[in-house]
């Protein structure tokens, strides 16, 4: 079952609510318009009734007014297009007057009663040939007492004029008799209508025009409601679309920002390509690895940007196959060869058509360095095991040789050349014994006894040990240190041996007038003390630089090749590191990094 998107529920709910509101408002407006039309019909009907009553009263004021005149007046008024009928009823439902004369004298079957205080009543009913009729029922009072009094006074004056001035003063009974005669003639003039005490008038108005107007109003109301519903729905839809657009735009912006931050923070280089192999995006790590700037790479062909040995990018891109963790060598514009691990993944759309590719680059320089360190450690461990056995086998005969030489010296009392040769033999035996001792120290390094020490004091003590050699060779010493340097957990004697070996190597590499620079600082981010030992000596060639920490490798005529190897083993035991930077003829810099291991300030 297909799910409806959440905003669709909101739109449907809003439209239904709007529809209900419009339906209620439209119904109320239709009812109000209907009531207004009914009020209009009632006013028109009452006006017609009052006009009929006024016409009747006016006619009664005349001398020759008869019942036929009332009937004729009704028939004339009924000729109005909106008038269906006009009926005057007597006390018992007798039709006294009707716009259809043949119905006069008949009776209506439905008894009619007025409301309180004889208020007129209205009702709607339907006639077969006419349709809906709006009927008004009202008390019919054409003859008011004041009108009768006025008419009687007029009759008296007329009688006085007829009887002459001489008869005005007759007796009261004659006057009363004259009034009764006048009243009887009034009744005759009214055609017998006034003798009914509770006369009703029924006025029926045709509702055809009313219904047509009402239908038109309903159509207009429905049309207006439809227009409002359409406009309101469109407005609501537009609001929801605008809101969703804003929400989607904001979400996409957040996702884009998040993705850009993730890509920019990647440890590996990332390059995205389009279907033509041109660079679309490249993260900062990739530009750092390639030694390029983003603005110079954007939009360029990857074949021009990434030229590697042993890999045909053009063939890989055209084949559409993925490449995972392939080791290649990239040469920067500065001529630096960088070992890389390259992964290439093609991108495809929903129809499985190629739309580009993604290239991941991983810098292998640190890994290669770690591999070298592991290889060096394994090699040193193997040499250490071999050296331990060899040293024990050599040390014992050396002791015997030295003992025999000393024995023969005392027994034969060597003189001259014999004494010289004997001294040289003893000296060489001692030198060989020292080499074996160094070899044993290298093969079986002592466990460091860690304690908090000041690196500044250790360096100053090591410099003190070579102070006489520095002065004799006229070598200038520069020592610098940052303030508030933390103490480090080290073996003082072993660390003194480390820096003493570095100083002696620097002295041997420099001629008279050289310069030795020692700088110590603290890297808070790495949590380690850093010591840099620089000299202005002959430097180390590029081909020898990777081998200087190997045992028995030396370029000195009388060197054993164990000094730097021993330095490396001591720093390894302290979980420290040593790096070397050197250019032949320009000097060498050794950088020693030692973790502080929960340092103590002081």
**Bridging pattern class, strands 354-363 and 323-331:** unpaired
Q: 437-448: b or e for each residue (b if 16 or more CB lie within 10 Å)? A: ebbbbbbeeeeb
Strand ordering across the sheet containing 337-348: 279-282, 269-274, 354-363, 337-348, 323-331, 308-309
Residues 257-267 pLDDT 10s = 888 788 777 88
Closest CA to 330 of 308, 352, 360: 308
Give the span between the Cα atoms of 470 and 251, in whole angstroms: 68
Give residue 499's pLDDT. Answer: 92
Residues 552-568 pLDDT 10s = 777 776 666 777 888 88
Mean pLDDT of 186-191: 47
- Is residue 425's pLDDT more than 50? yes
| Pairwise pLDDT comparison (217 vs 496), residue with the higher score | 496
What string of DSSP letters covers 476-501? Answer: EEEEEE-SSPBPEEE-HHHHHHHHHH
Q: Which two tokens stand for residue 292?
A: 């390029």
DSSP 121: E
CA separation, residue 482 to residues 485, 486, 595 (Å): 6, 10, 17
| Pairwise pLDDT comparison (190 vs 430), residue with the higher score | 430
Percent pLDDT > 70 in the chain is: 80
**Residue ranges in 164-293 assigned as alpha helix (H):** 172-189, 208-264, 284-290
* Mean pLDDT over each residue of the chain, to the nearest integer: 77
Whether the full predicted model's pTM is greater than 0.75, yes or no, is: no
Please give the distance of CA 301 from its chain centroid, rounded to a whole number: 35
Closest CA to 438 of 585, 284, 336, 566: 566
- Least-confidence region, from 37-46, 53-62, 102-111: 53-62
Closest CA to 125 of 219, 33, 185, 206: 206
Q: Can you give the C-alpha Rg of the chain in angstroms? A: 64
- Least-confidence region, from 60-64, 79-83, 234-238, 291-295: 60-64
Give the span between the Cα atoms of 543 and 552, in whole angstroms: 16
Give the span between the Cα atoms of 233 and 17, in whole angstroms: 10
Mean pLDDT of 113-117: 65
Percent pLDDT > 90 in the chain is: 8
Extended strands (E) in 443-561: 451-453, 476-481, 488-490, 515-523, 528-535
Q: Which two tokens stand for residue 56?
A: 């009747």
Give residue 599's pLDDT. Answer: 40
Give residue 598's pLDDT. Answer: 44
| Pairwise pLDDT comparison (332 vs 377), residue with the higher score | 332
Give the span between the Cα atoms of 153 and 132, in whole angstroms: 47
3-class state of residue 357 by DSSP? strand
CA separation, residue 355 to residues 161, 305, 408 (Å): 125, 20, 91
Residues 574-591 pLDDT 10s = 888 899 998 888 899 999
Mean pLDDT of 107-118: 70
Residues 12-42 pLDDT 10s = 777 778 778 878 887 888 788 788 878 888 8
Give 340's Cβ-side CA count (13 Å radius). 30
Closest CA to 325 of 297, 353, 367: 367
* pLDDT band, very low/low/confident/very high, at 601 (cuts 50, 70, 90): very low
Give residue 460's pLDDT. Answer: 92
């Amino acid at each position: 079952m297909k799910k409806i998107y959440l905003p669709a529920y909101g739109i449907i709910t809003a439209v239904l609510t709007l529809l209900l509101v419009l339906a209620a408002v439209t119904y109320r407006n239709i009812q109000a318009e209907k009531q207004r039309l009914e009020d209009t019909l009632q006013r028109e009907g009452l006006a017609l009734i009052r006009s009929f009553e006024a016409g009747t009263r006016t006619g009664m004021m005349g001398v020759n007014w008869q019942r036929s005149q009332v009937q004729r007046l009704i028939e004339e008024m009924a000729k109005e297009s909106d008038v269906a009928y006009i009926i005057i009823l007597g006390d018992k439902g007798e039709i006294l007057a009707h716009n259809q004369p043949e119905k006069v004298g008949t009776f209506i079957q439905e008894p009619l009663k007025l409301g309180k205080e004889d208020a007129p009543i209205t009702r709607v009913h339907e006639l077969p040939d006419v349709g809906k009729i709006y009927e008004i029922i009202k008390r019919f009072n054409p003859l008011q007492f004041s009108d009768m009094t006025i008419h009687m006074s007029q009759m008296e004056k007329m009688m006085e004029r007829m009887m002459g001035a001489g008869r005005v003063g007759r007796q009261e009974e004659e006057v009363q008799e004259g009034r009764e005669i006048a009243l009887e003639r009034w009744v005759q003039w009214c055609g017998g209508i006034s003798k009914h005490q509770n006369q009703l008038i029924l006025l029926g108005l045709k509702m055809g025009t009313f219904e047509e107007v009402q239908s038109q109003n309903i159509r207009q109301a429905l049309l207006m409601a439809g227009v409002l519903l359409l406009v309101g729905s469109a407005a609501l839809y537009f609001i929801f679309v605008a809101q969703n657009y804003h929400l989607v735009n904001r979400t996409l912006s957040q996702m884009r920002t998040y993705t850009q931050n993730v890509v920019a923070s990647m440890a590996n280089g990332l390059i995205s390509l389009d279907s033509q192999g041109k660079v679309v995006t490249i993260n900062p790590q990739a530009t750092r690895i390639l030694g390029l700037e983003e603005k110079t790479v954007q939009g360029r062909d990857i074949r021009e940007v990434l030229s590697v040995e042993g890999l045909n990018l053009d063939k890989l891109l055209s084949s559409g196959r993925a490449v995972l963790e392939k080791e290649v060598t990239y040469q920067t514009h500065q001529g630096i060869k960088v070992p890389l691990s390259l992964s290439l993944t093609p991108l495809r759309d929903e129809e499985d058509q190629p739309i580009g590719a993604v290239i991941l680059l991983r810098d292998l320089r640190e890994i290669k360095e770690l591999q070298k360190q592991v290889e060096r450690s394994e090699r040193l461990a193997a040499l250490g095991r071999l050296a331990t056995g060899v040293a024990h086998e050599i040390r014992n005969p050396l002791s015997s040789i030295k003992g025999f030489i000393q024995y023969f010296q005392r027994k034969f009392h060597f003189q001259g050349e014999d004494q010289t040769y004997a001294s040289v033999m003893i000296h060489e035996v001692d030198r060989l014994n020292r080499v074996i001792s160094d070899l044993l120290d290298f093969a079986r390094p002592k466990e460091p006894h860690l304690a908090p020490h000041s690196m500044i004091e250790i360096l100053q003590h090591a410099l003190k040990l070579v102070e006489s050699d520095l002065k004799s060779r006229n070598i200038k010493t520069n020592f610098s240190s940052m303030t508030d340097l933390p103490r480090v957990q080290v073996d003082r004697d072993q660390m003194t041996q480390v820096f003493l070996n570095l100083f002696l190597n620097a002295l041997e590499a420099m001629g008279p007038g050289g310069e030795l620079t020692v700088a110590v600082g603290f890297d808070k981010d790495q949590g380690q003390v850093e010591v840099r030992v620089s000299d202005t000596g002959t430097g180390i060639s590029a081909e020898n630089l990777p081998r200087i920490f190997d045992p028995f490798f030396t370029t000195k005529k009388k060197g054993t090749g164990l000094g730097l190897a021993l330095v490396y083993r001591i720093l390894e035991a302290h979980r420290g590191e040593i790096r070397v930077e050197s250019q032949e003829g320009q000097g060498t810099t050794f950088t020693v990094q030692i973790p502080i291991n929960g340092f103590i300030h002081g």
